[in-house]
Amino acid sequence: MEAIGTLIQASKRLTPTLLTCYNSISESSKKVWLTKWKSRSDIERLFSPVHWGYTLQNVGKAYMADCPTLMQYDELYGIGSSCYWIELQVFGLYGASSSRESGIADGIRIFSQSFAQEVRQYKLSELMLFFARYKAGRYDNSYSSFDTKRIGNAFFKEFLPQRNAELDMAIRKHEQEESLRRRELPEGYVIPEGYNPYTWYLERKRRGEIPPVNQPVKQSL
């Protein structure tokens, strides 16, 4: 998890060289992803606007999901795949709006091409969370008009600051769960408020609930 934290901090100041490095696909990840999603249509069905509701209910999973970034998506399924995926999301927003302006499709395609380049370092699941929140009115309370410029502004000025804070929380939660798992605590075990896994472990030792090393555990009658 330390490596993940380092990667996240670096992603906030990516240069083109670092961007390429962090978005390169390892052979193991490539094998796993192409096994899960054999074709582009497979991943489009899963990361589709119809699943925006599920994404809103599982924010932590959106940040920690094992899925490709837009740049990796192009590498897996061919150049242009990321632009088309963004189009699907934006058309989902357009379909939910009251706007029926003529020629909007061409505008969406142009926007999707430029937007996909600007957000290519983010995972599909993270971008899904943004589009789901936008659809829910988190960043725009009115669908009286459809404005792709507003979508871009909402992502960079409103969603990204939220992402940084929420991603840190998701990582801490994951680290806590891993710590509990390593100590072999029962599934569903909840640490009392005010403690972290280590301080709660020390507190339980102080109370005598955890025997010293090499001391057998007393069996209840």
Q: Which residue has the higher pLDDT, 127 or 97?
A: 127
Task: Please give the Cα distance from 97 to 144 (Å, whole number).
Answer: 7
pLDDT tens-digit readout, 39-82: 999 999 999 999 999 999 999 999 999 999 999 999 999 999 99
Question: What does the pLDDT average to over 152-167?
Answer: 93
Residue 180 banded pLDDT, cuts 50, 70, 90: low
Predicted local distance difference test score (pLDDT) of residue 6: 45
Mean pLDDT score across all residues of the chain:
81
Predicted local distance difference test score (pLDDT) of residue 33: 94
Q: What percent of the chain has pLDDT over 90?
A: 48
Q: What percent of the chain has pLDDT over 70?
A: 74
Q: Which of 102-111, 137-146, 185-194 has the highest mean pLDDT?
A: 102-111
Predicted local distance difference test score (pLDDT) of residue 87: 96
Structure tokens at 95: 């379909």
pLDDT tens-digit readout, 75-118: 999 999 999 999 999 999 888 776 677 678 888 999 999 999 99
Q: Hey, where are the domains in the chain?
A: 2-162
Residue 183 banded pLDDT, cuts 50, 70, 90: low
Three-state SS letters, 102-125: CCHHHHHHHHHHHHHHHCCCCEHH
Q: Which residue has the higher pLDDT, 178 or 131?
A: 131
In angstroms, the Cα distances linking 44 to 48, 57, 59, 73, 164 are: 6, 20, 19, 11, 26
The set of residues, in sequence order, having a beta carbon less than 8 Å from that of 12 and lying 6+ positions away, is 164
pLDDT tens-digit readout, 7-20: 444 444 444 444 54
Predicted local distance difference test score (pLDDT) of residue 8: 43
Task: Tell me which amino acid residue 201 is.
Answer: Y
Q: Which residue has the higher pLDDT, 141 or 70?
A: 70
